[in-house]
Chains A and B, each alone.
Chain A
Amino acid sequence: GENVEQHPSTLSVQEGDSAVIKCTYSDSASNYFPWYKQELGKGPQLIIDIRSNVGEKKDQRIAVTLNKTAKHFSLHITETQPEDSAVYFCAATPDTGRRALTFGSGTRLQVQP
């Protein structure tokens, strides 16, 4: 099955700096890669996703890049703000009917004001 590794486990940045979180996956059949933001005591919120036919996707301060050859994808947050502080999870799923997500271990991002 799919295995997703995520780094770093914790990340502390100053407000206004950029933050980068990286994930690798093992199943070459995976073709959908979402990123979720989870605040304490809440469910994960989909913030951006990318499919295998695209190398990069951007939505305001958030961008995701995908390298299918190397089997890794990254989340980039620019101009970080204190409200970006949360746990971020990457995930991957292969092109099967069930499309269950396999999650990375999570990154706790702390943006220092």
Chain B
Amino acid sequence: GAVVSQHPSWVICKSGTSVKIECRSLDFQATTMFWYRQFPKQSLMLMATSNEGSKATYEQGVEKDKFLINHASLTLSTLTVTSAHPEDSSFYICSSKGQFESYEQYFGPGTRLTVT
């Protein structure tokens, strides 16, 4: 399957600061990337859909001004958590969907964010 990387794998930040998470599709061009959040022992919840060259589409209840998504190229999408608070502590995972009619989604290894 395709390879998706995330950086950093874990990050600790202080409340009120911003954190940027990178998601890279290493061996194929991803027209669409998805960002998910996963709390302990829970399922993955879709936060937003990121399309290359256009604005992200956010799910209901996800603050677009707090979770800034940029998909500047076919291989890179970034998620910035602005003014982070302890309740933003979670496991953030991105996935990439291939071009055209591809169904398969491949997930990155995830980023563990802890806000103190």
Contact = CB atoms under 8 A, between A and B. Distances in A.
Nearest to B109: A43
B32 A98 contact: yes
Interface string A67-91: 0000000000000000000000100
Interface stretch (A12-20, A45-53, A58-66): A45-53
B67 interface: no
Contact of A32 (B6, B44, B49, B103): B103
A99 B97 contact: yes
B1 A46 contact: yes
B113 to A, nearest CB: 13
Contact of A44 (B42, B103, B104, B107): B107
A19 to B, nearest CB: 19
Given A43-B93, A43-B110, A44-B93, A101 B105 contact: yes
A41 B93 CA distance: 11
A104 B104 contact: no
Nearest to B34: A100
Interface residues on B, range: 20 to 34
Give the size range of A's interface with the partner.
20 to 34
Interface string B19-54: 000000000000010100000001110100100000
A44 B46 contact: no
Contacts of B93: 43-44
A49 B112 CA distance: 27
Nearest to A51: B103
A102 B34 CA distance: 12
B107 A93 contact: no
Interface string B80-103: 000000000000010101000001
Interface of B: 1, 4, 6, 32, 34, 42-44, 46, 49, 57, 93, 95, 97, 103-110, 112
